[in-house]
Amino acid sequence: MLIVTGSLTARPDTFDEVLRLSDEHVRRSRAEPGCISHAVSRDTENPLRLVFFEEWADRAALMAHFAVPASRGFGKAVAALVSQPPTLSVYEAQPIQL
């Protein structure tokens, strides 16, 4: 399983549009093969920052997600609306029993 984390910090005048685009991206991504979970949340310490948390079945599913034209379009659209470059990190993970 792969875990993806990321964040976007909108400008005050673009937050509503960044949130709309992010919600649309999350809902669409959840329907893709291999998507286990995909969520976006607002940072309570910086209300202009959105944080993404995703779980993907494997690398092939994640790479297919990145290749979807709407995913690339989302990245391009929000890049023009943020106050700093977005972050993205990918981790390989194994569930453990506690």
Per-residue pLDDT, 21:
98
Of 11, 8, 48, 57, the C-alpha closest to 30 is: 57
Per-residue pLDDT, 57:
98
Domain ranges of the chain: 2-92
Per-residue pLDDT, 95:
87
β-bridge pairing 87-92 and 35-42: unpaired
Over the chain (98 residues), the average pLDDT of each successive run of 10 is: 98 98 98 98 98 98 97 95 96 92
Question: Could you say which of 1.20.1560.10, 3.40.50.620, 3.30.70.100, 3.20.20.210 is the CATH number of the domain covering 2-92?
Answer: 3.30.70.100
